[in-house]
Amino acid sequence: MVEFAGYQMPIQYSGIIDEHLAVRNAAGIFDVSHMGEVLVRGPEAFNFVQALVTNDVAKLDDGKALYTVMCRPDGGIVDDLLVYRLANEEYLLVINASNIDGDITWMHEHNEVGASLTDISNDVALIAIQGPVAFDIARAISPVPVDDLPFYRFTKLEPGSFFGSDFAILSHTGYTGEKGLEIYCDADAAPAVWQALMEAGQAHGLKPAGLGARDTLRLESGFCLYGNDLTLDTNPLEAGLGWLTKLDAGDFVGREALVRVKEQGPKQRLIGFRATERGIPRSGADIQSSTGETIGTVTSGTQSPILSCGIGLGYVRNEADFTAPGTTLQISSRGRSFGVEVTRPPFHRQRTQG
């Protein structure tokens, strides 16, 4: 257990590799109740959210979610988040635990239309069950069918119908690259939900998983982590998040700066890479060209339990010689260098290639 964003969080239960493989092959259960939740309500709810984030909230209907970021006027990323449309005038924003206070302050500062903002982070628990058999397990405790829940869709449950919880959502998004559900419920209902899932999952190989496995799983899948791969000093276009940056969907904070970045081209680009020699990339290590020129920095790195080699993400100069898949680069740290190959994530789907 370690302190994280004001919470005591588990790094591991049975071991990072054991938990990681459980999620890839069966299922894992994560307590991610440290995440922040903000309810946005009222006639101006849509206008507020649309002007806050880079993605097009107009594409949402009730029961649909999207992934997005909110930016500073210079395009730097304040946070990445999920937006759930609960109803015509009600949205749920799910933000990173370490950014809760700053994010909410930012939201209030940019709430020019007068939407109602309510921080429910301390009242809501979040349990994620991820893996190939996650839905088989969740089916045993859900009061509604879950098998046909599409990706980035959710079901808001009737108050009291799920372990007595007044607020309950079953959501299909994920941060591991595997099929799974996120369960939002009242904080005081969470222990009963966790126990019921553990009992239902016993025959399916369900294992509790901690922050360690969550990080190796998301990195194998190529998902960014705020504070590492996304920061105030990076923008979504250089982070490879152009697909959620809708410059033609109306004005939002940071749009003008991002229009300029798109016109001029990002100066750096986030790439994925896998080691071709023995070595584990570590955050902060230099990324070098094949000739030894420093061209960037590792932002996330680990040993892939699936590939049994080092993998990572990092920013390099936005030049084709450094960003094209298959390009040979090297990682240099503490006087030692080892070779890597630029690889487009998800890494774990390439297990048959090496």
Residue 353 above 90 pLDDT? no
Structure tokens at 172: 């299909």
Q: Are 132 and 204 in contact (CB under 8 A)?
A: no
27-45: average pLDDT: 98
Residue 167 above 60 pLDDT? yes
Query: What pLDDT sits at residue 351?
Result: 56
24-53: average pLDDT: 98
Q: Are 20 and 131 in contact (CB under 8 A)?
A: no
Q: Give the tens place of pLDDT for each residue, 272-310.
A: 999 999 999 999 999 999 999 999 999 999 999 999 999
Residue 37 above 70 pLDDT? yes
Q: Give the tens place of pLDDT for each residue, 140-160.
A: 999 999 988 999 999 999 999
Q: List CB contacts of 52: < 8 A, sequence separation 6 or more.
A: 70, 107, 110, 252, 253
- CATH match of 1-32+121-222 with 3.30.1360.120: yes
Q: Are 181 and 119 in contact (CB under 8 A)?
A: no
The pLDDT mean for the chain works out to: 96
Query: What pLDDT sits at residue 19?
Result: 98
Query: What pLDDT sits at residue 114?
Result: 98
What is the crossing angle of helices 211-220 and 16-25, to 10°? Answer: 50
CATH number belonging to domain 36-120+235-264: 3.30.70.1400
Q: Give the tens place of pLDDT for each residue, 65-120.
A: 999 999 999 999 999 999 999 999 999 999 999 999 999 999 999 999 999 999 99
Q: Which CATH class is domain 267-353?
A: mainly beta
Q: Is the pTM of this model over 0.75?
A: yes
Q: Are 323 and 282 in contact (CB under 8 A)?
A: no
Query: What pLDDT sits at residue 328?
Result: 98
**Partners of 67 in beta bridges:** 82
Q: Give the tens place of pLDDT for each residue, 240-268.
A: 999 999 999 999 999 999 999 999 999 99
Query: What pLDDT sits at residue 354?
Result: 34
Q: List CB contacts of 21: < 8 A, sequence separation 6 or more.
A: 305
C-beta neighbour count of 146 within 10 angstroms: 18
Query: What pLDDT sits at residue 352?
Result: 43
Share of the chain above pLDDT 70, in %: 99
The residue ranges of every structural domain in the chain are 1-32+121-222, 36-120+235-264, 267-353
346: which DSSP letter? P
- 3-class state of residue 333 by DSSP: strand
Residue 171 above 60 pLDDT? yes
Longest dimension (CA), the chain: 63
Query: What pLDDT sits at residue 334?
Result: 84
